[in-house]
Amino acid sequence: MLNQKSIGRYEVVSVLGQGAMGTVYKASDPVIERAVAIKTINLELSREERAEFEERFYREAKSAGRLNHPNIVTIYDVGETEDAAYIAMEYIEGEPLRDVLDSGVVLPLKRICQIAVQVANALNYAHENGVVHRDIKPANIMISRSREAKIMDFGIALIPTGSRTQAGTVLGSPKYMAPEQLAGQATDGRADLFSLGAVLYEMLTGATPFNGDNLGAIMYKIMNEEPVPPSRLNARVPEVFDRILARALAKRPEDRYPNAQEFSRALRSEAVLAVLNPAQPPQPAQKNAASAARRQAETDSDPLDVKTEILLPPPQHRSGKRAPAAAPAAKSARRPRRYALLLAIPATALAAYLALKPAAEAPVAAAADAGAQTEAGEAAPPPVAIIPPQAAPAQPPSPAPATVPAANKTTVAAAGAHATLSLAITPWGEVFVDGKLAGISPPLTRLELPAGAHTIEIRNGTFASHRVKVNLAADQDLKIKHKFK
């Protein structure tokens, strides 16, 4: 099938992927001259099984083809060849959520909520039209170039693909399947909600809620054990998500959200918006700068660079009256908060410079959550000590170690030859170089180190530390990728 030139009336352009069920192609429809994605389904069936397959295949494809929603991949056509069935569907420029998660980057909370809300809204539409997906997982959620999440493969989970599949068996991905699916019981839309909960859990923590060394162990945990609350695996996850996921991943369907609309509403509740868009009370300059830098670093670390307008509360309308000229302070106070935060950064740097001036010539390490890096030839900015995100002091710390702010990149300056260390840490970790904290990854993704031997340690309070010794050559670019489990 990989050397196919055509499938039905469609002209094959390239292979997009291959799985256990078949191959996915990019193809062209010569009749209306549009690009399509074609998923083939291998047929290794007896005559009786093929008759059952054809009935179920067309029934499921017909049901899925009725769905017309911006967050569902549209099905255009279905058909059969001698050895395979195929579905022609909307071609999406983008990448599966599975690839996004496997890249080692943890998405910002706002982006995670946006994806989950879009999928929940699409499921609600499908369920209202009598269609249950039964195989929601990251590989079946496409992220388009326009930053939209789109569900693929509606109905395919009920299609048998070989003699080793018993009639009525529901296919799916065990790590994301609801307990009633594993038990072979009747399922409805609440099984999809369980699967979406598992996907949301993985986006928040970098790990699936139920893990095991083999299929039996995974199934046992899904049926009998409660998952670890996500806030315990990732300290950056607010506790409100513990409550949302506890309900979504409930063992009994009746204990979950009654429908996908309620799941979506929970992800857009005031409790969630409060932690995604916290109010900013007046703060000292040092704390303001650290908060602004953290927000900037979180935005920069989003590989999809998305604006989460659906999660932001409506703007407050002003009366339009101008403040009197004699009250410049009041006028300034009405400016957007971002200007105040940007003005606070130079003030913080000046305060740190006056406090740490004697150490200005010391080697400098950039922090993970700060501002811009100094260009070559410019006057070096004053050093600022690294401030972990959850324990930022109100006053500048002691002179050592001295650091310079940076958004997504940390540079350790030293005389002589240098090498680059690239980092991909999931879900997150404190990065120590030769016993000194260099930042938190993500958003920290790169370190410039002096050539030579170094000890790199990645710490996350929930897991055992990851430690590695490296011997870097001049101009070497070495990548460290680690996923805490």
Residue length, the chain?
485
Token duo for residue 180? 């009633």
Indicate the SS3 state at residue 237: coil
Whether omega for the bond prior to residue 363 falls within 30 degrees of 0, making it cis, is no
- The sign one gets for the Cα dihedral 359, 365, 370, 371 is positive
The rounded distance, in Å, linking the Cα atoms of 19 and 352 is: 56
Mark residue 191 as left, alpha or beta (left: phi above 0; alpha: psi -120 to 50; beta: remaining).
alpha
Centre a 10 Å sphere on the Cβ of residue 162 and count the other Cβ atoms it contains.
14
345: which residues sit within 8 A by CB, 6+ positions away? 289, 292, 293, 371, 405
Looking at 135, 192, 302, 369, which residue is catalytic? Answer: 135
Indicate the SS3 state at residue 348: helix
B/e letters for 173-190, b = 16+ CB within 10 Å, e = fewer, are bebbbbbbbbeeeebebb
- The sign one gets for the Cα dihedral 306, 309, 313, 317 is positive
* Contact assessment for residue 100 and residue 33, using Cβ atoms and an 8 Å cutoff: no
The rounded distance, in Å, linking the Cα atoms of 336 and 347 is: 18
Nearest to 18, CA basis, from 3, 34, 35: 3
Kindly write down the DSSP assignment for every residue of 142-198, as one continuous string: EEETTS-EEE--TTGGG---BTTSPTTPPP--GGG--HHHHTT----HHHHHHHHHH
Indicate the SS3 state at residue 201: helix
Token duo for residue 423? 């980092």
Indicate the SS3 state at residue 454: strand
Torsion angles phi and psi, residue 227, rounded to 5:
-75, 155
Indicate the SS3 state at residue 238: coil
Is 135 designated active site?
yes
Centre a 10 Å sphere on the Cβ of residue 275 and count the other Cβ atoms it contains.
13
- Residue positions annotated with a catalytic role: 135
